[in-house]
Amino acid sequence: MRDDELVLVTGGTGFVGVHCVVQLLDAGYRVRTTLRSSSRADEVREMVRVGGADPVHLEFVEADLLHDDGWHAAAAGARYVLHVASPFPVRQPKNANELIRPAREGTLRVLGAARDAGVRRVVLTSSFAAIGYGRPDPGRPRPYTEEDWTDLSAPRLPPYTRSKTIAERAAWDFIGQVERDRGDLELAVVNPVPIFGPALGRELSTSVELLLGLLNGHVPAVPNGSTTGVDVRDVADLHVRAMTHPDAAGERFLAISGDPITFPDLAKLLRERLGPDAKRVPTRVLPDWLVRVGALVSTELRAVAPQLRRRQGASSAKAERMLGWRPRPLDEAVVASAESLVRLGLVRP
């Protein structure tokens, strides 16, 4: 056991958060995680067991991103903090502040508590949403990297995209002030693309929820767009690497696995690899014009329409070069997602 190294993970019930807890426990850390309600502690312990770890060195504290109570107790004695908790709904709210406020205020609460508790480093879970949106990119000559930022002045940015960009900007501003005050709190940021991989419980990423919709036949056809992706186990691994690597302080790390996959190819992959469990996955492709018309009234199609027949390039070369990070192939992550949904009984028989 690393008795002197306690790690706080915010949002232990979440899809990414619980995988971070599993990997930290496996590595011998003591782990504390925040819950909005302590009644979910047993649920988290069971997810940790499903993930293959022993929750004996896992503890809990109640804390909410919108309230001050609990955060200083949560950070007390911690050497590192992984701030993973942040809302990411399948359907975007009409009022962007429903996402922006908890994302920004929650990030600042966690950072303030970490600073006051003498935490060495915080790793913030941001998103590709803070990197690659808001600017036209026809014929873009290079993939997106950590040097890029989403343009907040762009019109019609989705609330989630805006919230992640604002929250990450606020985090870097906070750390800049800490440095000016001669404090020693460090920050590293992980920016994943859509996250797939095995679900350990019923808390799913938005990407895995969309897979579940395909498997249960909730849509009659798929659009002719594409998606990037990364496995949740690799995202958790990148958090742990960024937590301890001496060169990670002050850096962003984009997490992506290989090339994008088109939605028709994704549907085909599910049908081929899951057999009868994927019999409801659609075989038809939505005409582009129908996607564009539907985007006028559907927030889901509005997010897909700009990606029609376009492959969005991004690079995780920095994480691979600096931290030795090696992500799984995207098809492996997608299939692991689907198989876990079947095991959990979420796919209709």
Q: Which residues have a catalytic role annotated?
A: 164
Amino acid at 29: Y
Answer whether 119's CB lies under 8 Å from 111's CB: no
Neighbour tally for 105: CB within 10 Å:
16
